[in-house]
Amino acid sequence: MSPNQVFPSDSGPLNPIAARVLEDPRLTYDVSADSIVIATKHELLVRRSVREATSRLHEALSGIATNYGSLASIGSPRAARGGASAIDDTGPFSDVEVWRIDKEKADLGMNSIDQARRLRVLAEDQKVPTGHGPALVLPAVSPNHVGILSPAAGGCPAGPPHPAPPPPPPPHQPYIEPLGDRLRARVTVLDSGYIHTEPPHTELDQRVTLVDGLRLDTSTTPASWVPDKPDGVDTDGDGQLDGIAGHGTFIAGLIAHICPRARLTVVGLRNQEVEIEALDPAEQSGLYETEAAIAHAMLLHSDTDVIQCGFAFPTLDDYPSLPFAAAMQVLTGPDAPRKGVALVAPAGNEESASPYWPGALPDVIGVASTDRRGNARARFSNWGSWCDCCARGADVYSTYVYWTGPIDGEPSTDIEHFVGWARWDGTSFAAPKVSAAIACLLTASEEETLPVQAWELLVSGATGVHVTPLTDTFLTPFPGVTLPHLHLG
């Protein structure tokens, strides 16, 4: 069954970032009623244990593709970070292999979506236990899905940022307090990176440690992990503010504001974004990031209390993401060497009821968005029983960049003036509020509390945060889903 690449006539125009991503010759995609599944065209993710136990699957794979190794063994994460790797090359992450469709087969039109569907029937799906929820039903083969921050007309974030004035000067309470020497919670942000502005966000800069992300490169043999580009305001030099520039800076400021005792590590998975106007199609890899790379970063930087993941993506036929399922086994599974890390992710902004990953995993806290008033689902927000809670993600205020000029995707005659602050819409900005609230509980507790325990207290209403049920009755095809609404401002 070939990918469906016909958009419904009433779906509206694509976000400009998404439109360029879908034109990339290295990607393929499949359109459903309420989502666009995007994947690398020639990379397959394969569960090694199933392949080794199923001769038909092994023979079929070997006839069309080459095994580049497992996500735990490719390249040298230890050398890339200059220290010990957090990834066990004998653990669950080593069970996810990367196979690349051979060039002669690719030249004949083979793609990962077609081949994943064809190969799946050669091996049975398997149930894998989770740490805090029902077992996952995993396929033997999956395409390597792509996460971008704008996969549909609404996009993520749900529209461009809007300029906002800076907060009032002293004697008013500062938006971000100096960190000081008080007890700290550690929050790791997997997002676009962090931009040091001029003039600086001094208090925030002191809290943030910026780390380069790594993207998976299978275009050469052997495959390797290549550093991502740093975030910037106009990386393609077209005179327009990049459509998603400063996304990580905005989120870092939001977390630091809500949790004054949080120290932040921001991992720049910059491959999700720009170069939007690149003339060379090979340079458009800067528009997206793969699920393999995002999950890899999560494990490399798992020595933390809370992981705030900025990505939400649909998968082929709604199967769970193989890399994230394996990563969560490492962190929260029955035999996890480290327990208690809280992973928080947005639900996505495509007005969809379909599961988006990693937020839909049982051990991940998936956060949907309410509207500005907090009394209904935000128009853009995904929503479903696979989400764990909701918080306001509309008209959120936080730190941003300095820029005067047009914004990518907006009319070039529309000149915006940013002075380091903005308001923005998206589930990407609801989720960090939950991450920050968990961190606050950790710093406030006199007893040792695991992050997952802090989350359970938070959502139960046992803390000072007000929690009420909120039901959406309009989102199809599954209206009527009720989620806990965390009133976090």
Secondary structure (DSSP) of 285-349: GGG-EEHHHHHHHHHHT-SSSEEEE---B--GGGPPPHHHHHHHHHHHSTT-SS---EEEEE--S
Query: Which residue do the tokens 């995904």 mark?
Result: 382
Is residue 49 scored above 70 in pLDDT?
yes
| Cα distance between residue 41 and residue 112, in whole Å | 5
User: pLDDT higher for 468 or 447?
Assistant: 468
User: pLDDT higher for 480 or 367?
Assistant: 367
Q: What share of the chain in percent tops pLDDT 70?
A: 88
- In 3D space, the residue among 54, 53, 55, 8 whose CA is nearest the CA of residue 35 turns out to be 8
Tens of pLDDT, residue by residue over 50-72, are: 999 999 999 999 999 999 999 99
Note the pTM of the prediction, 2 decimals. 0.93
Can you give the pLDDT at residue 299? 92
- Which sign, positive or negative, has the C-alpha torsion 313, 17, 270, 67? positive
Least confident of 26-30, 285-289, 321-325: 285-289
Least confident of 16-20, 169-173, 203-207, 302-306: 16-20
Beta bridge partners of 136: 128
| Cα distance between residue 358 and residue 356, in whole Å | 6
Averaged pLDDT, 17-43: 84
User: What are the φ/ψ torsions at residue 210 (nearest 5 degrees)?
Assistant: -95, 130
Residue 103, classified by CB atoms within 10 Å of its CB into exposed (0-12), middle (13-18) or buried (19+), is exposed
- Which sign, positive or negative, has the C-alpha torsion 343, 349, 351, 352? negative
Packing angle between helix 431-444 and helix 451-460, nearest 10 degrees?
A: 110
Can you give the pLDDT at residue 271? 60
Query: What is the band of 279 on the pLDDT scale with cuts at 50, 70, 90?
Result: very low
- Cβ atoms of residues 25 and 62 within 8 Å: no
| Cα distance between residue 329 and residue 341, in whole Å | 12
Tens of pLDDT, residue by residue over 218-263, are: 888 888 898 888 888 987 777 888 878 899 999 999 999 999 999 9
Can you give the pLDDT at residue 96? 97
Is residue 23 scored above 90 in pLDDT?
no
- The per-residue DSSP string of 191-217 comes to ES-----SS--HHHHHHEEEEE-EEEE
User: What are the φ/ψ torsions at residue 66 (nearest 5 degrees)?
Assistant: -115, 135
Can you give the pLDDT at residue 198? 95
Residue 435, classified by CB atoms within 10 Å of its CB into exposed (0-12), middle (13-18) or buried (19+), is buried
Query: What is the band of 1 on the pLDDT scale with cuts at 50, 70, 90?
Result: low
Averaged pLDDT, 422-444: 95
Q: What share of the chain in percent tops pLDDT 90?
A: 62
In order of 250, 368, 437, the CA distances from 344 in angstroms are 16, 11, 11
Query: What is the band of 21 on the pLDDT scale with cuts at 50, 70, 90?
Result: confident
Averaged pLDDT, 147-176: 76
Query: Which residue do the tokens 């395409």 mark?
Result: 143
Averaged pLDDT, 177-202: 90
Can you give the pLDDT at residue 84? 37
Averaged pLDDT, 382-399: 97
Tens of pLDDT, residue by residue over 76-92, are: 544 344 333 457 777 88
Averaged pLDDT, 360-373: 96
Is residue 476 scored above 80 in pLDDT?
no
User: What are the φ/ψ torsions at residue 487 (nearest 5 degrees)?
Assistant: -85, 90
Least confident of 11-20, 158-167, 180-189: 11-20
**141-150, 397-406, 471-480 — which one is most confidently predicted on average?**
397-406
Least confident of 79-88, 201-210, 331-340: 79-88
